[in-house]
Structure 1
């Protein structure tokens, strides 16, 4: 085929197919995952099409069914699309699913939200649950840090939007991410993939599967990714925030007969990047005295930032950086057809070993010289389920047990510049007051949970189905937190010491000992009614009353006027969630087009918010309950495939998520740092140096952090048959993009931390020989858009704002081969 005829074929690929004509399966289209299931079915290919019907098969309701049959908001991404779009972890997946948000300053401090809900911004507190559950092959991953690892040999990913408490548990008040990997096969198959690109990007993936005997099969998969960092640290001479991931998964399938299958799986993943540093973005006036704000403090110490343009991608942070962590585990999954149903057992152990080093002052000055909080996590889970499918009734009943132990050993030490930065008067001129001041934190958490659950599907008629579900859950948490503080000479810093130096040191790092406990029973339920208006039109409505379990503060609590810990702040109440959703799922034009629409309204009483007090180490951040938050919106997912030569999609979401009532929230930086108002006094205007600051702020009615009101994902692919290297196949041109409007990057919205909206666009051009190999060139963030993933308020209310720039334009080449 000539270049001109190829171009003509690509441009004319959208021509309609005559009504009733068969539509050949596309080898690798880029149709949207977010609700565009008809398009995603072709993504997943034969591996997911277990029914041979051309419909993608999902397990969102713990049983196999086609995605368009599931009466809930669901986004499905096939393994092929994950690879071709470069969405190799959850952070990249957010560009394909508009209602999914991820924010990460390092693997531990990572938040995964759906529709603006899930987990609050800020330093992670081990004493409470996530609101978006992550499951891999039915195994619950309790630590959200797993979200920053590369996907490994994935068949599909289902993003379940809205509360999923009946079947997925107390940790899914906002939704769940259900990941299914490729399973061992009794026919030999394998795949290898290699990618190279700028920024020294290298990625290798391989998977091999096949029989060992007539009843035993195995599958082994490997993934390795490395990339130079995107920020240059002039202090160390290194590029930081690099990628350095290695993953390995092995599975053994024992299938003695058609009724029984037993799968033993193990995985190990490691990261060892020099990460995670930030760049200077701006300063904003606070209510601290003018001489104690950033510009004056930096000038007094002869310090100037290496660049005031954040997209120069330069920093000078002087403390050690490390984000080394290891995650892995073993699981045993048993599926046994017994009588009219299937009995499933999932037993698992998982671990996480986290070894961080950070620069918590975000500058090149020795203010905080060491900040480390290594932790070790072990979890054990056991789930039993029985699934029954009959002519008019389906049901799932089960039980789930969970035990978790987390141990953390923290160290925070101040340096020679800390006195000038944090103290006043003569003490500020004496660097020995805070130089060497160190706190050692010892903490552990024991978390035990047990639940029984069930969900019934009653087909009242051929069109009407009623689906109620219930879950009873018990939780118990026992915690321990001890902070011991010593000055630079090794002497303990204690309450009761009246020496001005000791008082000043206690104001920076305060000793504390608490042993919080929590236990409670909770009951969740939901009801979904669905009605088939026509063979390819399904309407549904859902009401869910669920919860997120209460928690304990594992990072310390405030103290009273006598400097005693306020023990009542050691625990937080459970979240109470009420959720309404209505939707319509449609397919038309002989199923060439899919249009799904959903509207939702979710309220959470006693929302678990992360609170900080603006100081370096008095509290790293503790949990409190906001009275109420609310998220409501509309999601529209559309995909079209008029022929096997062209497909396109566009998905959009409007999300209005706000604090309904939060009257005692932490104040934003422009209202912090001054003298706390007394009786009869009025707080100063925002950003008034030396002003009066409110003790806390009423942020009722303001937007929740991280939520863009508008978010879209979109893309298209055109292809044409060609012969290349003696192989018949397809040349294809594809693009995918995303847009999100502005969002707040601080728990209490601040004029200084709004991230501007941005759009990202990616292109691919390649050739594939169906079932044999695929080679394509790609460019991501093709227009080199400058944007921030997150902005952070610096400590001590000096007005410093730092940020993490998003990836610049990257480009490369990928080659994959099936055998």
Structure 2
């Protein structure tokens, strides 16, 4: 059994908005019902016939509820039940009504999506347990989950941490998508579609208020500027008091302070040609992201170098022993300055041979963080920041056409990215006593490490190009084959330069024999290297689908895919003389074999939808995060694990017996494990001691002053961040009423999610298993036929205390810190659509 960290109930806060549709799903959108097939209640008013926000039966159409869910997962508009892909679709109104305002909240609606973030840059978005390594971000790697907004690729998860703004629908596609999408994605894609400009004047406005000082305003307006030009403008502003109290600064931290703007201009140049110009800007500027003391666990370090002894020596104690008291004492400055934006031009031309689409885009990301890297109230690390600036340019061309018997999509994609990061870390007056062994007289001299500073300069130039395509061949009336291919080229050039100086302004080098310099470079070591990587890759897939009956589609997919190799830009291990080991500066591509089968079915005159999928993905040369136990020497670098496998079963169920009630349940079982990883980093309980020599037997876990293995065999253990069981559920009912002369419907709704326990460390540790938890959200309100809506909401209604993640600070002291999830929040929302 895995020791688990206590997890009482804590919830996600967030107001809702329109409660109207929703679809969620697992393997495929389980909620793709045709509401037109549902006979209206004899007493139903127009408003009462509209879908509720819990309804998985429509997507993006809000109270209008046009019936079948239309998606563009395969780069053409088609109903979700006809798409032979495991896909979840979440409508914009369901996003609003459930408070799922960003990718992090989206995981509560789509059980196979995993999202972990200690700050926007150090964010991982995975599907079925794979995508990117769990832990600190490395600029030189690719994402396994592609994030697209209106067909524009976002190359860094950090650049996609904005609040959802004026969203029509979100499609979460599972499995490799490289033969249909511009950037290769081995784990899946998140395809976000926003509302587009209209030639009919329309708008919507919404205001929400709640506890913790929550306030949110959203608005969008669209209409014609001329007979052939239409425009749309949307904005969102969110603020909320923090959830952790910092006794050092006497302030709440981990607050929310978000702003988003989007403008679009549509030009219908001709009956066959349309051009859309889009621009967006968003910023997050909270005092974030702090952690709380959770516990300690014994490591192999000497007893006088473990957390309790070090803290006692400095008469220090954490401000609270219960993490859910939400008290911290971090003494370094905290900040999350995140600026994201860009512009794109999308042209669609219905030519004689097919529809030609061109998407040209530029995006930027400006990141200005400040962190407390020692995770305590002691001045050990007084400065830690890695400001980073990114620019990316993408160009995609797609040609789609054919007839019902033979359809095709052909594409070309070009990508250029530059990243410039300037890191700095500085040690404070408490560093010597904390980081130097007490047996060394230098540990009693604060000046040895006080002012020790590493200044890191990291640059990356990343170029990628691809040709891709997919055919859809209807071999028989009920049988369709869909082969796809992709040819990909990647090139990465990077530079890592870390210069270290001490408090006296001296350079810390490896050729010095000064005992003070030796002690200093054991904490912050200089390093310089240049690295480049380039490679060609070919991948392919084949899907066969067979319509067993008019409302039952079965499909099977095999995909041979890859994730591009990368370069390590957080530093690499050094040899005895301190020279970087350049063999570790690059990481090989992942090689992916993926098999999936699924069934999509609707019953009872389309009142019931049931979708099932089973999958297995085998990855060779999996890109895993490796960490160095010495504090400050290395943040973490990538290496290739021999083999990883993720497999599982997903199911979506939704039912709408009539216009007054709908409900859904999505569930997933995911078995994601390292199949062979014999030289993995060891967990904290096996780290920090004397490295075992050949023939020596390592000490038992948690033996102070013991013998630690050089590395650990974690074959068969679970991948980080993956719950074996996860599910989401919801229901909503309504009744026709008249309020203050307004005809409409009163409704009540519930939605929730469950996750079983998961490992919160790249190598599973007895100290970092997070206990499973259930989150439940409630709402009730009135939806008028005129477009006015008012409702109250409670997020995390039962006050569950839970951890979003746990962290192991460097140094092997046994300290474990964590990020508690949101407590119970509540509030009201009023909105009007016209």
> What's the TM-score once normalised by structure 2's chain length?
0.94
Tell me what 1:342 maps to: 355
Give 2:661's match in structure 1, choosing from 639, 646, 655.
Answer: 646
Name which of 72, 76, 79 aligns with 2:85.
Answer: 72
* Aligned counterparts, 1:394-409, within 5 A: 394-409=407-422
Residue matched to 1:178? 191
State the alpha-carbon separation in 1 of the partners of residues 492 and 447 from structure 2.
41
Task: Assess, with a 3 A threshold, how the Cα gap between structure 1 residues 20 and 239 changes in structure 2: closer, same or farther.
Answer: closer
1:27 aligned residue: 50
Which among 548, 551, 561 is matched to residue 576 of structure 2?
561
Q: Is the 8 A contact 1:40 1:76 kept in 2?
A: no
The question of whether the paired residues in 2 share the 8 Å contact of 1:367 and 1:415 is answered with: yes
| 1:453 paired to 2:468 | yes
Residues 677-700 of structure 1, C-alpha deviations (whole Å, 9 max, x = no match)? 112111000000000001111110
Q: Note closer, same or farther for the CA distance 1:18–1:299 as it changes in structure 2 (3 Å cut).
A: closer
The answer to whether residue 343 in structure 2 is matched with residue 326 in structure 1 is: no
For structure 1, the residue ranges without an aligned partner over 5 or more in a row are: 1-16, 33-38
Cα deviation for residue 726 of structure 1 reads 1.0
**Contact 1:367/1:414 (<8 A) preserved:** yes
Q: Which has the higher contact order (CA 8 A, sep 6+)?
A: 2
- The counterpart of 1:618, out of the listed 614, 625, 633, is 633
The residue number in structure 1 matching 2:94 is 81
Q: For 2:73 and 2:35, how far apart are their aligned partners in 1?
A: 34
1:388 to 373, 398, 401: 401
Alignment counterpart, residue 726 of structure 1, candidates 738, 741, 753? 741
**What is the deviation of 1:602?**
0.3
Cα 1:571/1:776, change in 2 over 3 Å: same
Q: Secondary structure at the match of 1:167?
A: coil
CA distance in 2 between partners of 1:626 and 1:517 (Å): 21
Q: Could you tell me which residue of structure 2 aligns to residue 3 of structure 1?
A: none
1:278–1:804 contact (8 Å) kept in structure 2? yes
Indicate if the aligned counterparts of 2:258 and 2:285 stay in contact, CA closer than 8 A.
yes
SS in 2 for 1:91: helix
**Equivalence for 1:663:** 678
User: Distance in 2 between the 1:23 and 1:29 partners?
Assistant: 14
Structure 1 position 616, deviation (Å): 2.4
Task: Classify the secondary structure of the residue corresponding to 2:639.
Answer: strand
Could you tell me which residue of structure 1 aligns to residue 482 of structure 2? 467
Counterpart Cα distance in 2 of 1:341 and 1:640: 38
- Alpha-carbon distance in 1 for matches of 2:402, 2:211: 52
- 1:411 aligns with 424
Alignment counterpart, residue 155 of structure 2, candidates 118, 128, 142: 142
Match of 1:207 among 205, 220, 223: 220
Q: CA deviation at 1:146?
A: 3.1
CA offset digits 1:210-265 (Å, max 9, x no partner): 00000000000000000001001011111101000000000000002321110000
Distance 1:67 1:27, change over 3 A: same
1:165 maps onto 2:178 in alignment? yes
Q: Are 1:782 and 2:782 an aligned pair? A: no
Q: Compare 274-283 and 554-563 and name the one that shifted more.
A: 554-563
> Which runs of structure 2 are paired with 1:423-438 in the superposition (5 Å)?
423-424=436-437, 425-438=440-453
Structural RMSD (CA): 1.4
Q: Deviations over 1:150-172 (max 9, x none)?
A: 00000000000111111125541
Cα deviation per residue 1:116-164 (whole Å; 9 max; x = unaligned)? Answer: 1111111100000011000000000011013321000000000001111
Aligned to 1:300: 313
CA separation in 1, counterparts of 2:740 and 2:365?
A: 46
Please say if 1:282 is aligned against 2:305.
Answer: no
Q: Give 1:550's match in structure 2, choosing from 562, 565, 572.
A: 565
Corresponding residue to 2:202 among 173, 178, 189: 189
Q: Does 1:597 align with 2:612?
A: yes
Who is 1:479 aligned against? 494
Kindly indicate whether residue 549 of structure 2 is the aligned counterpart of residue 534 of structure 1.
yes
- The answer to whether the 8 Å contact 1:28/1:80 transfers is no
- Give the equivalent residue in structure 1 for 2:532: 517
Q: 1:253 aligns with which of 247, 266, 272?
A: 266
What residue is the counterpart of 1:217 in the other structure? Answer: 230
Match of residue 696 from structure 2: 681
Contact map agreement 2:330 2:377 (CA 8 A) in 1 = yes
**Alignment equivalent of 1:744, drawn from 752, 759, 768:** 759
* Paired position in structure 1 for 2:18: none
State the distance in 1 between where 2:132 and 2:785 align: 42
Q: CA contact under 8 A between 2:35 and 2:607: conserved in structure 1? A: no
1:715 and 2:730 correspond: yes
The counterpart of 2:589, out of the listed 552, 557, 574, is 574
CA deviation after TM superposition for structure 1 residue 191, in Å:
0.3
Contact 1:518 1:552 in 2 (8 A): yes
Partner of 2:644: 629
CA contact (8 A) 2:546 2:554 kept: yes
Q: TM-score, normalised by structure 1?
A: 0.95
Q: Counterparts of 1:508 and 1:20 in 2: how far apart (Å)?
A: 68
Deviation at 1:42, TM superposition (A): 5.5
Cα contact 1:683–1:694 (8 A) shared by 2: yes
Shift of 1:57: 0.8
User: d(CA) in 1 for partners of 2:732 and 2:420?
Assistant: 49
Rounded Cα–Cα distance in structure 2 between residues aligned with 1:679 and 1:20: 72
Aligned length: 793
Deviates more, 1:282-291 or 1:608-617: 608-617
Q: Secondary structure at the match of 1:320?
A: coil
- 1:120 is the counterpart of 2:160: no
Q: 2-side partners of 1:230 and 1:591: how far apart?
A: 44
Q: Which residue of 1 aligns with 2:243?
A: 230
Task: Note the C-alpha offset of 1:770.
Answer: 3.2
Distance of 2:402 and 2:89 partners within structure 1: 24
8 Å contact from structure 1 (residues 28, 43) kept in 2: no
Q: How many angstroms apart in 1 are the aligned matches of 2:410 and 2:49? A: 38
SS in structure 1 at match of 2:811? helix
Partner of 2:7: none
